[in-house]
Structure 1
Amino acid sequence: MRSVQVTGPGTTGFVEIEKPVAGPADVLVQIRACGICGSDGLYISVGGIPPRQGATPLGHEPAGEVVEVGAEVEGFTVGDHVVLNPMASSDGIIGSGGAQGGLSEFVLIRGAVAGTHLVTVPKHIPFAVLALNEPMAVAGHAVNRTAPKSGDKVVVFGAGPVGLGAAIAYQLRGAHVVVVDIVPNRLEKALKVGAHAVINSAEEDVAARLREIHGTAPRSFVRGERPDTDIYLDAAGAPVVLETILAAAKHGATVGVVAVHKKPVPVDFGSLLTTELTVVLSMGYPTEIFEVTRDIIDHWERYELLISDRIPYAEAQRALELGSTPGAAEKVVVTFP
C-alpha cells in the first residue's frame, strides 16, 4: 500500500509499504479522509520526528471504514464508518512520530477497543467532515480548560479551524461568542458557524468593540473601563493577541491559550496582580477525542463549513504544501478513493 512519509528535511513522498493484516484482537481501517495540520509542516521541515527521523508517516486526523475485524474484537463489523484516536495507538501516535500515519491507505488498530481506540459514526456524514474530529477535540479541550457556563461572554482570537471549533463549542454550551481575526472571509465564516458577533482587529479597537458588545465590567480596583467579557481564548498565537487580552481583561476573567507561541511573550505580572486572572493552557485532548464526536454527528453541516479545500489522495503532497503555507488555505482535507 501507499503511505505519505517524511523522506528527509523538507521532503515528502509516497512510500510503498506492506499492507497490514488484522490479527484476532485488531481492526483494519481503510482511510477515506485525513485532515492536514500545521504541525505536519513542522515535521516535514525538521525531517521527521525522532526516533523515526527521516521516515515519519504523516497524517493524524484520519477517518475511515472498517475492512477487517479480528475474531476477538467486539463492537465493530466490516463496513462501519469510524473515527480514530491517534494518541491511543499502541505503536505510537498516529501521524505524529508513531509507526503509522493517517495519510496511508490503511491503518491497523492493534488490540482495538471501542470507545478507546475508535468509535463508529453514522454513514450519512461525509468522511471529510469526520476527519475534523481530531482538531475539534483539540478545540474542545481548550473550551473545557476555560470552564464556560451558560450565559458567559466569550471572545475567541483566531478564526482558524481550532478557533472556529472552539467558537462552535462555546455557542453550543450557551455562551455569547465573539470571534476576532484580521481576515474578512474568516470572520464571515465565524458568523456562519454560530458566532454572535465578530471583530476585525486590523480595523477596529478590540477592547472598545467588546465593551459595546459585552458591556462594561462593574467597577473594581482594576484601572480603566474593561469589557464585561468572562473568557478570552487565544487560538491565534500572535504576541499582540495576548497583549490585547491582558490589557482588556476585567477582574476575575479567565484567559485560555491553545495557540502555539513560537517566541516568548513578555508579561508584566506586577500590573496584572489586581486583575486576579485565571490563566489556563491547553494541549491535546485527554478526554475529548470522542466527546466531540457527538457534536459533529449532531451538527455536521455546521462543521463542514470549516473545510476550505478537499484534495484527492494522489495530490497529497500538494495538500501538505497548501496546508503548511500560512494564509493559503483554512482547512485542507485529503480525500481517498
Structure 2
Amino acid sequence: MRAVRIHGVNDVRVDDIEEPQPGPRDVIVRVRRCGLCGSDLGYIKVGGVAAPAEAPFGIGHELSGVIEVVGADVVGIAPGQRVVVNPMGDGNGIGAGLPEGAFAPLLRVSNATLGGSIHPIPDHVDWDAAALAEPLGVALHAVHRSGAVPNDRVAVFGVGPIGLGIVFFLKRAGVSSVVAIDRSPQRLDRARRLGADHVIDAASEDVAAVLGDLHGRADLFGWPTVGTSLWFESSGAPSVLPLIVGMAPFHARAVMVAVHHQPIAIDWKMALGKEMSFITSMAYPDEFPEVIAAISEPGFDADAFISHRIPLSRFDEALAIARDVGHSAKVMVACDA
C-alpha cells in the first residue's frame, strides 16, 4: 500500500510498504480522512520528532476511519465501527516517530481499547468533521487549562486550526468577549464564522489600540495596559509572547499552545509586577469524548476549519497548500482516494 513516510531532513516520500498486520491486542483501521498538522510540517523539517530519525517513519495523526480487523484479545471493538483515533491513547505515538502513520489506507493501532485510543462516532458525523477531533482536542484542552469564565475578556493570537478551535470552544463555553488576531484575512473570516466577537488584522491594525478600545485601558506602575484578562498564544510567532506581557493587565493569564522551537526573551520584571500566570497546554488527556459530542451536534460547521480537501495521491500538493498558512486552514487528506 502507499504510505507517507519521512526519510530524513526535508525528505518526505509516498512509499510502497506492506499492509500492517495486527497482533492479538491491536486493531487495523481503514483510514478515511487525515488532517495535515503543523507538527507534521515540523517533523519533515527536522527529519524526525526532535532530531533526525534513524529509520523512515510514518506521519499523520488526525484521523477518522472504520475498524477493519480486530485482534483476538481486543474487547468491545468490532469490524465496521466508525471511529476516530486518539493517536496518543493506549501508549501509542501514531505519526510521531513510530513506524505507524495515518497518511495511508490502513493503520495499525496497538494495544487498542475502547475509550483509550479508539472512540466511536455517530453515523451522521461525516469523515471530515470526525478527523477534526484531534486538533479540536488540543484546542479544548487549552480552554480547559485556561480556566476561562464567561466574563473573561479574551485575545487569541493566531487563528490557524488550533486557534480557530479555541475560539469555537470559548464561545461554546459562553465567554462574552473573544477577539481573534492574525495576519491572514481569510483566517480572520473563519474566526468570525465560529463566533469571534471581534477580529484584528495584525498586518494593518494596532493590536494594543484596538484591544484598548474593546476591553479598556489602565496604568500599572507607569506601564500602559489593556483590559484583556486571558490571552492565548497559538501563532508560533516569537514576537507575540513579549507583546502579550507588555499589554497585559494585573493578574492576566497567558496560555501557551503554539510550539516555539527557539527561546524567547521575556521582560520578567514586568511579568512579576503584573503577577501574571503563565499556563502551558499540550495534547488532550481527557478531551476526546467532549469533542466528539461537539462535532456531533446539528449545525457543527466543519467547513469553517477545513480549507482544502486533497486525495492521498496528490499528497505533495496538500503539503504545499498546508505550508501556505496565509491562505489555508486545515488541509484534509482523503486516504481512500
Q: What is the Cα deviation at residue 140 of structure 1?
A: 1.6
Q: For 2:106 and 2:139, how far apart are their aligned partners in 1? A: 27
Q: For 1:131 and 1:101, how far apart are their aligned partners in 2? A: 14
SS at match of 2:226: coil
Q: Does 1:332 align with 2:327?
A: no
Q: What is the Cα deviation at residue 28 of structure 1?
A: 1.6
Q: What is the Cα deviation at residue 103 of structure 1?
A: 0.6
- 1:184–1:200 Cα contact (<8 Å) kept: yes
Q: For 1:263 and 1:27, how far apart are their aligned partners in 2? A: 38
Which residue does the alignment assign to 2:290? 291
- 1:159–1:187 Cα contact (<8 Å) kept: yes
For residues 59-108 of structure 1, the C-alpha deviation after alignment (integer angstroms, 9 at most, x for no partner) is: 11111111223444333332221110111254x41011012001121112
Which residue does the alignment assign to 1:78? 79
- 2:184–2:326 Cα contact (<8 Å) kept: no
Which residue does the alignment assign to 1:307? 306
Which residue does the alignment assign to 1:209? 210
For residues 163-206 of structure 1, the C-alpha deviation after alignment (integer angstroms, 9 at most, x for no partner) is: 11111111111112110112112111110011111111222222
Which residue does the alignment assign to 1:235? 234
Q: For 2:58 and 2:237, how far apart are their aligned partners in 1? A: 30
- 2:246–2:270 Cα contact (<8 Å) kept: no
One-letter amino acid of the structure 2 residue matched with residue 85 of structure 1: N
Q: CA RMSD in A?
A: 2.2
Q: What is the Cα deviation at residue 314 of structure 1?
A: 0.9
State the TM-score, normalizing by the size of structure 2.
0.91
State the TM-score, normalizing by the size of structure 1.
0.91
Residues 89/313 of structure 1: CA separation in 2 closer, same or farther (3 Å cut): farther
Per mean C-alpha deviation after superposition, the further-off stretch among 9-18 and 132-141 is 9-18
One-letter amino acid of the structure 1 residue matched with residue 178 of structure 2: V
- 2:56–2:99 Cα contact (<8 Å) kept: no
1:63-142 equivalence runs, <5 A: 63-90=64-91, 92-142=92-142
Q: For 1:184 and 1:71, how far apart are their aligned partners in 2? A: 51
Which residue does the alignment assign to 1:13? 13
- 1:12–1:317 Cα contact (<8 Å) kept: no
For residues 185-238 of structure 1, the C-alpha deviation after alignment (integer angstroms, 9 at most, x for no partner) is: 211111001111111122222222122222345x7x443553222101111122
Which residue does the alignment assign to 1:187? 188
Q: Does 1:282 align with 2:281?
A: yes
One-letter amino acid of the structure 1 residue matched with residue 193 of structure 2: K
Q: For 2:169 and 2:221, how far apart are their aligned partners in 1? A: 30
Q: What is the Cα deviation at residue 302 of structure 1?
A: 2.3
One-letter amino acid of the structure 2 residue matched with residue 196 of structure 1: D
Q: For 1:9 and 1:225, how far apart are their aligned partners in 2? A: 45
Per mean C-alpha deviation after superposition, the further-off stretch among 51-60 and 177-186 is 51-60
- 1:222–1:275 Cα contact (<8 Å) kept: no
- 2:245–2:270 Cα contact (<8 Å) kept: no
Question: How many residues get paired?
Answer: 334
Unaligned runs of 5+ in 1: none
Q: For 1:48 and 1:228, how far apart are their aligned partners in 2? A: 41
For residues 31-66 of structure 1, the C-alpha deviation after alignment (integer angstroms, 9 at most, x for no partner) is: 000011122222223333468534011111111111
Per mean C-alpha deviation after superposition, the further-off stretch among 122-131 and 68-77 is 68-77
Per mean C-alpha deviation after superposition, the further-off stretch among 149-158 and 21-30 is 21-30
Residues 238/111 of structure 1: CA separation in 2 closer, same or farther (3 Å cut): closer
One-letter amino acid of the structure 2 residue matched with residue 282 of structure 1: S
Which residue does the alignment assign to 2:266? 267
Q: Does 1:53 align with 2:73?
A: no
Residues 249/51 of structure 1: CA separation in 2 closer, same or farther (3 Å cut): closer
Q: For 2:123 and 2:221, how far apart are their aligned partners in 1? A: 53
Per mean C-alpha deviation after superposition, the further-off stretch among 42-51 and 145-154 is 42-51
Q: For 1:8 and 1:207, how far apart are their aligned partners in 2? A: 42
